[in-house]
Amino acid sequence: METIAEGELCYQHLNNSCRISAQPHTEDLLIYALLSSVSLTTVTLNLLVIASITHFRELHTPTNLLLLSLAASDLLVGLLLMPVEIIYIETCWFLGDILCTVYYVIDYIITSASVANMVLISFDRYVAICDPLHYTARVTKRKTQICVIACWFCAIIYRILLLNDHLAKPGKSNSCLGECVVVIEHIAGVIDLVFTFILPITAIIALYARVFVVAVSQIRAVRANVAAATFQQSGVQIAKNAELKAAKTLGMVVVVFLICFCPYFYPALTGQDISVNASSAAFEIWLAHFNSCLNPVIYAFFYPWFRKSIRHILTFQIWKPGSRDVKILS
């Protein structure tokens, strides 16, 4: 940081060095504090989700395995990606072009896995509400584990292929020394837009729309006293009460996902290249990553079992013998 303070260049004796602000301003310090709190909150919330699901045996369900995978991806955002962006706000990138490219590959892999996890969770809720009789047969722990592994594997392969040019030529998008920029050209940006935004959000909305239609039909049937006994015997009545809350949660997920990712994908929607710059910590990048802070709130804080497990964790009851078998869902 001493080099930075001596002038406006990242590398004082190189003409092709990037220029930066000589001294941080008060606004910059406020931004540092705000973003650091977001990063800390993201890590803390997702660690609580992971600790809850992994510790209590009763929470080892297919649905919670998906929540665990989502929390893991969101934890990596708060633990790896956000701190790097905070460090390099309006400063220089001194880690070299290779690490710059690796950073963005990791960034995109985590983001893709997070989005894919949300689609899997939406499908899980769809089956639970629309086909409760066959849910236990269609959605098992084994199948869920395979889906989660496939989700992460596909995210890794997809992002390596998408950023192949940058992996082959690290730093190709940098205009000066001390910069860490990845520019996704229009064609690749459109592909990314389709697979990371349009298809996932379409799937989530379609599943949620079906859930809403089924939920409304159940409510009307109960109100009209048509086949109410059948609903109760089959378990659909239970689903109406317990799973409708999850349906509302999905609606919030759609809105939050759109709010967080629309600004990032706006250039691709308008036919422009997507430029991602770690040194400038663009608002669009932080908004997309902020989704990782909101996910545990949306998916977990709306469930009573999570609030109960937090009490056990914060009061250190999880260290007591037999705590893994405590009834959390009751």
Mean pLDDT of 112-135: 86
Q: Over the chain, what HEC string results?
A: CHHHHCCCECCCCCCCECECCCCCCHHHHHHHHHHHHHHHHHHHHHHHHHHHHHHCHHHCCHHHHHHHHHHHHHHHHHHHHHHHHHHCCCCCCCCHHHHHHHHHHHHHHHHHHHHHHHHHHHHHHHHHHHCHHHHHHHCCHHHHHHHHHHHHHHHHHHHHHHCHHHHHCCCCCCCCECCCEEEECHHHHHHHHHHHHHHHHHHHHHHHHHHHHHHHHHHHHHHCCCCHHHHHHHCHHHHHHHHHHHHHHHHHHHHHHHHHHHHHHHHHHCCCCEEEECCCCCHHHHHHHHHHHHHHHHHCCCCHHHHHHHHHHHCCHHHCCCHHHCCCCC
Does the pLDDT of residue 2 top 50, yes or no? Answer: no
Q: Is the pLDDT of residue 277 over 60?
A: no
Q: Which of the four pLDDT bands, split at 50, 70 and 90, describes residue 200? A: confident
198 or 88, which is more confident: 198
Residue 279 has pLDDT above 70, yes or no: no
The full set of domains in the chain, from first to last, is: 2-183+278-325 (1.20.1070.10)
pTM above 0.85, yes or no: no
The predicted-structure confidence for 145-184, as pLDDT tens digits, reads as follows 999 999 999 999 988 888 888 788 887 777 777 777 777 7
What pLDDT is stored for residue 191 in this prediction? 83
